[in-house]
A = this chain, B = another copy of it.
Amino acid sequence: MEKLSINKLKWIRNLHSKKFRDSEGYFIAEGEKILGEILDFNPASIFLLVCTQESFYKIKQHETIETYIASPSEFERISLLKSPQGILAVLKKPLSESQFFDLNKSVLVLDNIQDPGNLGTILRTADWFGISQIYCSTNTVDCFNPRVVQASMGSLFRVAIKYGDLSEFLSQQKLPIYGALLEGESCYKSKMKLNSILIIGNEGSGISSEIINKIQHPITIPRTGHGESLNVAVACGILLSQWRKS
């Protein structure tokens, strides 16, 4: 355990940017809860750990993990939280071979999800319902964004995630393709096939016009009240629950 050097601080701060994460192959996980889970279940993925003096004693110590102490003001510079919790780890990205997709199994397709908290929550929900393959449009937020990592609560390590051209990906599919739209069959009545594809669209604009014609079965969540809309992670949770309950 030693003091965090200015060079390491700058290197960690650079990992806030996707470009730098891509070139270095590392990403950040932040906060007591998520790090507790990683230290318990995935300690080998940790490259280094940074704590403030105050937070150092809150976490389980691993002798084999490089640990650095930062002052509160140094910590604020590497943190992405408005109220930093004083605990942050740099993790190795999983190898791309571990991102193998089985094309006979269900895939959740995400079209342009922008909010990191939403993507993280969607990963966590998919993991709960046993959807282990997620295909994201290239304009979807990076799954190694620190806020995605935090909201995913460890599920990031258990689901295979790929980024690419949705139109091309969907053209190769043989499984039935469902899409969440404002108009469609009620999700409570639709008999969604267990092995199939489900497309969820952007927070504000839904599924993009370029891929809307790939949807074979439009499904919707009927509104029984007055709200304007549902949060996309909640909508995805409701649809996944309907899909996997059978």
Give the B-binding residues of A (Cβ under 8 A): 33, 37, 80-82, 117, 121, 124-132, 151, 153-155, 158, 188, 204, 221-231, 233-235, 237-238, 241, 244-245
Contact = CB atoms under 8 A, between A and B. Distances in A.
Nearest to A186: B245
Main secondary structure of the interface of A (DSSP, over half): loop
Nearest to A153: B228
Given A230-B237, A235-B237, 11 more contacts: A117-B117, A121-B231, A121-B233, A124-B227, A124-B234, A128-B226, A153-B231, A158-B226, A158-B227, A234-B237, A237-B237
Given A153-B229, A231-B121, A224 B244 contact: yes
Nearest to A80: B82
A238 B128 CA distance: 13
Nearest to A235: B237
A153 to B, nearest CB: 6
Given A82-B81, A121-B234, A234-B125, A241 B227 contact: no
A109 B112 CA distance: 34
Contacts of A124: 227, 229-231, 234
The residue in A82, A223, A230, A231 that gathers the most chain B C-beta atoms within 10 A of its C-beta is A231
